[in-house]
């Protein structure tokens, strides 16, 4: 009896994974979600599961490597076994993999048009930390900071805003950031309940209040120096307002913004850029730590207007990319220098990010304003800092908002958020950036739930690469956040 059961099980397994006979070539295009057709993927990415959207009664999909390996899966939901997927992509680094989708309709099996993908030689960082939230404009509903293992697909909660729930005043946390892709030194902000900036250095942590009598706010957008215990921040008076008829619905604006430098060891804040006739925001260091990049709207005619007037002319505010040299030994900055003149093109450039080799500057470019995640015309651009030439990353961009972007530690992968799927929710996408400086068709963060229930009502934002996992548990971070905030001193 035992042998019969074993034989039956093996027969069912073979039948479930076998390719049907008598299949007719149809030439029909395979429609899948997420769209993984023609993408370049890392050799260490978790299985790229997808859903077949073509009509049919039954489905059998085969994925074959150019060098070796074949995986066959039955069903509309193509859930790939991790062990077999890992072996397949490892065996085909630098080569193609071919997807064949077979669909049964009215008793006949049809072979849809094959499509390919390419496995790159270059791996992606093992971890990505991001914020997951349901869109809410007035209240902080339940949301969390999470960490995805990009190699295994394992996803765990880092912290959530329900740990210190207060029905009268809710908690927000944002702007997690790491020093040099490692989790030994990192920071995040906590707003409202138990508010402050949590800074973790090794086995120690502190919560600080970066708002002083000489600065307009606490630190907002951070940039941790690559070698020193220094963090550059923008200080902003952000606010949001809504459009009645504009398709972009929401506008986030900075009527005032400057740059500061926080010395962790000395607990001191000093000003970096505080031109009363300019708005400075979104700092970012060069990999050698000798240059600070940022966005600046150098528009005196607007900066002198009352705050309410700025709300009316919000679509006239345009930012250029600037930089200042920095001497780590003296902690002093040089004069301001224009890097990319966006205003002269009636455009606005935000969120400079420098590639790990120091050659390329990645940024988002839109028609106006500072918060491009809400702007449908926002695209990714790159500047070659050696030649000074800049261009749109056409291969990676879409017809909707493409924004908040970062480099992998080896400079071969770009992560960014996009609203290309439905125009409403931001998703995480990756694009291969080759050695010639070209981006490739991006692919969505692999879905752990093909039902789409989770993804339909949540947005992903602020994706940050890491080469190792965060060391603290949710309870560890909760205890750290319960500390009293230490007041920073202004220098």
SS3 assignment, position 52: strand
Which tokens hold the place of 431? 């694009």
27 alpha carbon, distance to own chain's centre:
36
DSSP state of 445: P
Helix (H, G, I), strand (E, B) or coil at 314: helix
CATH architecture of the domain with residue range 127-487: 6 Propeller (2.120)
Other C-beta atoms closer than 10 Å to the C-beta of 434 total 12
Report helix, strand or coil for 2.
helix
What is the model's pLDDT at position 11? 32
CA separation, residue 414 to residues 223, 375, 441, 443, 445 (Å): 18, 20, 11, 11, 12
Residues of the chain with CATH 2.120.10.30: 127-487
Is the CB of residue 188 less than 8 Å from the CB of residue 177? Answer: yes
pLDDT at site 299: 66
pLDDT at 478: 93
* The two structure tokens encoding residue 5: 């059961």
Token code pair at residue 435: 């050695």
Per-residue pLDDT at 141: 65
For 30-42, b where at least 16 C-beta lie within 10 A, e where not — what string? bebebbbbebbbb
- Burial of 6 from C-beta contacts in 10 A (0-12 / 13-18 / 19+): exposed
What's the predicted TM-score (pTM) here? 0.91
At the topology level of CATH, where does 14-119 sit?
Immunoglobulin-like (2.60.40)
Residue from 456, 453, 432 nearest 442 by CA:
432
Q: Specify the pLDDT at position 19.
A: 77
Judge whether 279 and 318 are in contact, CB under 8 Å.
Answer: no
Contact call for residues 66 and 95 (beta carbons, < 8 A)? yes
pLDDT along the chain (491 residues), means of 10: 35 51 91 97 98 96 96 96 97 98 95 97 98 66 88 95 75 88 96 91 95 91 97 82 58 81 97 90 97 87 61 78 97 97 94 97 90 80 96 92 93 94 85 95 92 67 96 95 95 89
pLDDT given at position 8: 31
Upper half-sphere CA count for residue 405 (Cβ side, 13 Å): 34
Check: CB of residue 171 under 8 Å from CB of residue 177.
Answer: no
Which pLDDT value is given to residue 216? 86
pLDDT at 4: 36
Question: What was the pLDDT predicted at 393?
Answer: 95
Sheet holding 32-33, edge to edge: 32-33, 50-52, 77-78
Q: Could you give the residue range(s) of every CATH 2.60.40 domain in the chain?
A: 14-119
């Amino acid at each position: 009896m035992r042998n019969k059961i074993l034989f039956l099980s093996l027969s069912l397994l073979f039948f479930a994974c076998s390719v049907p006979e008598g299949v007719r070539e149809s030439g029909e295009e395979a429609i899948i979600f997420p769209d993984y057709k023609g993408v370049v993927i890392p050799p260490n990415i978790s299985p790229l599961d997808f859903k077949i959207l073509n009509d049919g009664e039954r489905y059998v999909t085969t994925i074959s490597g150019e060098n070796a390996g074949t995986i066959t899966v039955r069903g509309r939901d193509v859930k790939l076994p991790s062990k077999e997927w890992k072996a397949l992509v490892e065996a085909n680094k630098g080569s193609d993999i071919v997807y064949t989708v077979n669909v049964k309709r009215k008793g006949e099996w049809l072979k849809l048009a094959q499509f390919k993908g390419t496995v790159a030689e270059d791996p992606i960082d093992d971890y990505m930390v991001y914020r997951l939230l349901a869109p809410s404009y007035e209240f902080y509903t339940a949301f969390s900071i999470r960490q995805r293992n990009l190699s295994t697909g394992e996803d765990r909660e880092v912290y959530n805003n329900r740990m210190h729930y207060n029905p009268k005043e809710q908690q927000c946390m944002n702007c997690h950031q790491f020093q040099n892709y490692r989790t030994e030194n990192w920071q995040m902000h906590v707003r409202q309940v138990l508010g402050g900036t949590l800074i973790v250095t090794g086995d120690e942590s502190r919560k600080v209040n970066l708002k002083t009598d000489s600065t307009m706010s606490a630190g907002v957008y951070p940039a941790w120096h690559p070698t020193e215990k220094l963090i550059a921040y923008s200080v902003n008076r952000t606010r949001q307002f809504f459009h009645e008829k504009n398709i972009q619905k929401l506008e986030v604006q900075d009527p005032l913004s400057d740059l500061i430098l926080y010395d962790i060891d000395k607990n001191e804040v000093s000003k970096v850029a505080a031109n009363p006739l300019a708005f400075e925001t979104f700092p970012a260091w060069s990999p050698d730590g000798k240059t600070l990049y940022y966005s600046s709207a150098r528009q005196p005619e607007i900066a002198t207007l009352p705050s309410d007037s700025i709300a009316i002319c919000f679509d006239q505010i345009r930012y250029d990319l600037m930089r200042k040299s920095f001497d780590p030994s003296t902690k002093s900055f040089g004069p301001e220098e224009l890097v990319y003149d966006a205003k002269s093109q009636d455009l606005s450039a935000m969120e400079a990010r420098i590639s790990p080799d120091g050659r390329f500057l990645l940024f988002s470019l839109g028609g106006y304003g500072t918060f491009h995640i809400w702007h449908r015309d926002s695209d990714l651009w790159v500047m070659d800092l050696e030649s000074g030439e800049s261009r749109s990353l056409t291969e990676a961009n879409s017809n909707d908002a493409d924004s908040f972007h970062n480099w992998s530690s080896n400079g071969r992968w770009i992560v960014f958020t996009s609203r290309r799927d439905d125009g409403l929710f931001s998703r995480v996408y990756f694009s291969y950036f080759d050695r010639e400086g070209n981006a490739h068709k991006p692919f969505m963060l692999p879905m752990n739930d093909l039902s789409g229930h989770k993804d339909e009502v949540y947005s992903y934002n602020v994706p940050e690469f890491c080469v190792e996992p965060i060391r603290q548990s949710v309870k560890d971070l909760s205890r750290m956040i319960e500390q009293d905030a230490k007041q920073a001193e202004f220098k």
